[in-house]
Each structure stands twice: as structure tokens, then as C-alpha cells.
């Protein structure tokens, strides 16, 4: 499998699309050293590329092809994401130091510890080559975040660009899939009528769409008057919600609800606008929920999708019980890993760590969760003290809160180079920036107050 990936990477680089892409990427690297928005755009492209995948299961080995050139891009999604990651590292290496001292939040350090446990156990008992490739990839991601976005976020303008980078990745996803949807939607809805887009799974599509919603809401709120940009973000949000509904992902729908609740937690007027917006959207969409087939309406939603939202069955119960039992049976180091094999995770990041790694990985995983929740609490306090940072804090609170909830139903926190993982790390980096700015300004204010007091004494 690893040799296949390496061959795929070399094959992608040698193709015309790969050569053109690398040439454009190198030009962007040169420009990004002088122009920060270009660096964030490169990051958006990496996020989108990391979401590309092809659906496969025991019954489906060949999927319907997408339109040109989307099919070629999707089939080379992982090599493309790796190439863009390398280009981002080149940009990060050119970034100069600034006033920031704590570039990585503690939660990322604990997540790094979990990945180290995965690497160590896989090297000792499993597929060593895969372990090395995974460690290099994840290590490259953390290094890129520390030397790149961590240093880029030195002011509110770059924080805004960080938010926009996730929204732009969502915009690209929505745009290319909307075109495919209008031309021929069968290749992106062939899994029981559920929308999976250019991802490899309807659940992955749902999580991706939900993860972009806090950033979209932030950008809409920060534009006071209607112009092209605000119209673009509102339209993107509407299509995002429609695709989310079409995906049949209850996890994605729950994450979206949590995002809206947390983002507008203290704003009653905004709640009225959101309720009105959802009511209008429901009035437009609900008439099509009873469509018998996808061909019955240009916007029809398959009954398999609508039935998922009305179903109360827990489709993950058996998987969760199995992981919990595996954790209890092998509480220290997790279930034994077969020689030359790799970890496979069930639909819960936390139970998956316990079952695979035992307390060795579960403890740092819980510490990561604790630090994330603590960050949410601190950001809420910051937004209450300083209304200027309300929407900035709200975007991070909504993003982190929704993804922590989603991680209880999907194992995306244990991914390597996926959109969900990159989005989660970005929200942590944004939260770390806001808290460090608050500490820095509080310290400056205390120094100024002390100086004024001392001057008053000597006068």
C-alpha cells in the first residue's frame, strides 16, 4: 500500500496536471513570501485537496467518474495534498519571528503525543513503512502549523485571513460540487442517494460542510452592508446547508446545530434572523423531501436521506460496545496489533484511542479534550470582557465545540492529512492567538498602570 502511494505521488508529479500544478504552486510560494493572503490561499487549497477521496466498500470497487478535470484531481487527491503541504512548509520556513511566543496550544501537543503512541505501536508490531510515512506526514503538518499559520497570525487581519482560509476551502468544495451536481449528480450522490461530493464518504462530506459553517457565519457578520462578498458567503452557506441535508449525515447536522447555538449564544436578535433564515430554507426544501427518486425533481432528496433524519436508531451502538470492550480487555496498551497491519478506527475518536492504545493513548487524548474545552471557556470569558472579540471568539468556540461533538461520532481526530483534522488544528491555532493577544494586552495594561502609579508617587 505504501509503495502504491509513493508510486502514485511520483506518477502525479510526472503528469501534465501535476507539472502545471507544481509550477503554479512554486509561483505561489514565491509570491507568498511577500504577500500573506497568497500563503493563506495556498493553505485553503491544501485543505480542499486533503478532503479529496474516492468511495470504496466491499460492494463498490469502481465509482462513477466525475467530469473532467475533477475526476483527475480527485484521483490524485492525496499526492496533491502532500505536494501542497511541502510547498506550505517552504513558505513557513521563510516566515520571520514576531512578538508571539506560544505558537502551539497545549491541545496540539497532547494530540501529537497520541500520534506518537500510534507511531510507536505501529513500528513495534505493525506496518513499519506506513508508520514512518504517517509520522513524517503528521510531523510535517504540525511543523507547518507552527512555523506558518502560527507565525502568520500576529494581528487581527491575519486572524481574519485564517477564518477566510477555511471558508475558501469550503467555497471551493461547494463550487466544484455544484457544477458536478448541475451537470450530472449521480457520481456524487450514488451512495443510497446521499451526497458525498468529492470526498470518500457521505459522513466525511457532512463533517466537512459543518466544519466550515462557523467561518462562514463570521464572515457574514463582519460585513456590515450587502455587497458581492456578503452575497457570496450567504450563497455559500445556503448551498452548504442544502448539501449537508442531502448528505444524510446526522453527525454533520448535529455539528451545524451546535455551531449556530454557540456562535449566537448571547445574541437574541441574531437568533431571530437565524430562525427566519431556517424557516425560509425549510419552506424551500421540505416539499422535496418526499421525492421517490432523484429523477423525480431537479432538487429532489431521496427518501433514504430523509428517513435517516427521522430515524431514532443508533447505528453505531455495536461499534461503540466493541471498542469499549476492547478498551476494558486491554486497558493499558490497547488491543494487540497484528504483525504488519495498521490501525482501523471505529466511529468515535475517543473510544478508538482507548481500544487501540489503552491508557497509554487515552490519557493524552483526554488531556487534549480538556485543553480544548478550557480554551472554549477562556474564549467565552474573553468575549464577555471585550465585545470587540465577540465574533472572533464565537467563530473559534463554535468551530471547536462542534468538532469535539462530531469527534464522538467519527474518528477524524485520528486522521493524518484530512480536512477535518486541518480544520480542527486551525481552530485551535486561532483560539491560541486570541488568548495570547489577550494576555499580551493585559500585561501591557498592567505595566502602563504600574508606570502611572510610580510617576504619581514621585510627583
CA distance 24 to 110: 36
Express each pLDDT in 63-88 by its tens digit.
888 998 899 889 888 888 999 999 99
Three cell numbers, residue 349: 475518536
User: Burial letters for 114-142: b for 16+ Cβ neighbours within 10 Å, e otherwise?
Assistant: bbebbbebbeeebbebbbebbbebbebbb
- What angle (nearest 5°) sits at the alpha carbon of residue 450, between those of residues 444 and 451? 90
Model pLDDT, residue 29: 87
The runs of H, that is alpha helices, within 316-411 are: 317-329, 349-357, 359-385, 390-406
Cβ atoms of 165 and 426 closer than 8 Å? yes
Helix 77-93 / helix 2-14 crossing angle, nearest 10 deg: 70
pLDDT > 80? residue 58: no
pLDDT > 70? residue 311: no
Instruction: Record the pTM.
Output: 0.90
Collapse the DSSP code of 194 into the 3-class scheme (helix H, G, I; strand E, B; otherwise coil) and give the result: strand
CA distance 371 to 378: 10
Three cell numbers, residue 376: 472554549
Express each pLDDT in 182-230 by its tens digit.
999 899 988 888 999 999 899 999 999 999 999 999 999 998 888 999 9
Three cell numbers, residue 231: 452575497
pLDDT > 80? residue 278: no
Model pLDDT, residue 307: 64
Three cell numbers, residue 105: 496550544
Express each pLDDT in 217-271 by its tens digit.
999 999 888 899 999 999 999 999 999 989 988 899 999 989 988 998 876 555 5
Segment (H or E) for 93: helix 77-93
The runs of H, that is alpha helices, within 148-267 are: 149-152, 156-183, 202-222, 228-247, 250-263
Q: Which residues pair with 191 in a beta bridge?
A: 194
Cβ atoms of 305 and 337 closer than 8 Å? no
Residue that has been written with the C-alpha cell 513558505 in this structure: 91
Three cell numbers, residue 43: 493553505
Mean pLDDT confidence for 140-166: 95
SS3 of 287-300 = HHCCCCCHHHCCCC
Mean pLDDT confidence for 264-292: 55
Collapse the DSSP code of 66 into the 3-class scheme (helix H, G, I; strand E, B; otherwise coil) and give the result: coil
Q: Is the dihedral of CA 379, 384, 385, 389 positive or negative?
A: positive
> With 0-12 CB in 10 A as exposed, 13-18 as middle and 19+ as buried, what is 366?
middle
Q: 238, 188, 247, 244: which is closest to 211 by C-alpha?
A: 244
CA distance 54 to 9: 16
Cβ atoms of 388 and 449 closer than 8 Å? no
Amino acid at each position: 500500500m505504501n509503495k502504491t502511494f509513493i508510486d502514485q505521488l511520483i506518477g502525479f508529479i510526472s503528469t501534465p496536471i501535476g507539472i502545471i500544478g507544481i509550477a503554479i504552486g512554486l509561483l505561489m510560494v514565491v509570491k507568498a513570501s511577500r504577500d500573506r493572503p497568497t500563503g493563506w490561499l495556498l493553505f485553503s487549497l491544501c485543505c480542499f485537496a486533503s478532503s479529496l477521496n474516492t468511495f470504496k466498500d466491499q460492494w463498490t470497487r469502481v465509482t462513477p467518474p466525475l467530469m473532467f478535470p475533477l475526476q483527475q484531481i480527485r484521483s490524485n487527491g492525496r499526492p496533491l495534498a502532500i505536494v501542497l503541504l511541502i510547498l506550505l512548509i517552504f513558505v513557513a520556513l521563510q516566515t520571520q519571528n514576531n512578538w508571539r511566543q506560544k505558537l502551539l496550544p497545549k491541545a496540539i501537543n497532547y494530540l501529537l503525543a497520541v500520534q506518537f503512541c500510534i507511531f510507536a505501536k505501529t513500528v513495534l508490531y505493525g506496518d513499519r513503512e506506513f508508520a514512518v510515512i504517517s509520522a513524517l506526514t503528521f510531523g510535517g503538518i504540525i511543523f507547518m502549523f507552527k512555523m506558518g499559520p502560527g507565525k502568520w497570525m500576529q494581528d487581527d487581519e491575519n486572524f481574519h485571513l485564517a477564518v477566510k482560509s477555511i471558508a475558501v476551502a469550503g467555497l471551493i468544495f461547494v463550487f466544484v460540487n455544484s457544477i458536478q451536481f448541475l451537470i450530472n449528480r449521480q457520481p456524487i450522490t450514488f451512495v443510497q442517494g446521499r451526497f458525498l461530493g468529492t470526498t470518500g464518504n457521505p459522513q466525511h462530506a457532512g463533517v466537512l460542510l459543518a466544519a466550515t459553517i462557523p467561518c462562514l457565519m463570521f464572515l457574514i457578520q463582519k460585513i456590515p452592508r450587502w455587497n458581492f462578498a456578503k452575497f457570496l458567503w450567504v450563497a455559500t452557506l445556503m448551498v452548504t446547508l442544502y448539501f449537508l441535508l442531502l448528505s444524510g449525515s446526522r453527525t454533520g447536522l448535529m455539528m451545524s446545530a451546535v455551531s449556530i447555538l454557540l456562535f449566537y449564544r448571547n445574541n437574541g436578535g441574531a437568533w431571530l434572523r437565524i430562525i427566519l433564515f431556517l424557516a425560509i430554507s425549510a419552506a424551500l426544501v421540505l416539499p422535496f423531501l418526499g421525492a421517490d427518486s432523484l429523477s423525480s425533481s431537479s432538487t429532489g432528496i431521496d427518501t433514504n436521506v430523509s428517513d435517516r433524519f427521522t430515524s431514532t436508531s443508533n447505528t453505531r451502538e455495536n461499534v461503540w460496545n466493541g471498542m469499549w470492550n476492547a478498551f476494558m480487555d486491554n486497558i493499558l496498551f490497547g488491543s494487540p496489533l497484528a504483525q504488519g497491519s495498521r490501525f482501523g478506527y471505529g466511529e468515535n475518536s475517543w473510544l478508538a484511542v482507548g481500544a487501540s492504545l489503552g491508557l497509554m493513548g487515552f490519557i493524552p487524548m483526554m488531556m487534549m479534550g480538556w485543553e480544548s474545552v478550557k480554551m472554549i471557556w477562556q474564549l467565552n470569558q474573553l468575549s464577555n470582557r471585550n465585545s470587540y472579540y465577540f465574533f472572533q471568539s464565537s467563530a473559534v468556540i463554535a468551530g471547536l465545540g462542534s468538532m469535539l461533538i462530531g469527534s464522538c461520532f467519527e474518528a477524524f481526530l485520528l486522521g493524518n492529512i484530512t480536512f477535518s483534522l486541518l480544520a480542527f488544528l486551525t481552530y485551535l491555532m486561532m483560539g491560541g492567538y486570541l488568548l495570547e493577544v489577550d494576555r499580551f494586552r493585559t500585561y501591557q495594561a498592567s505595566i502602563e498602570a504600574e508606570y502611572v502609579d510610580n510617576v504619581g508617587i514621585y510627583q
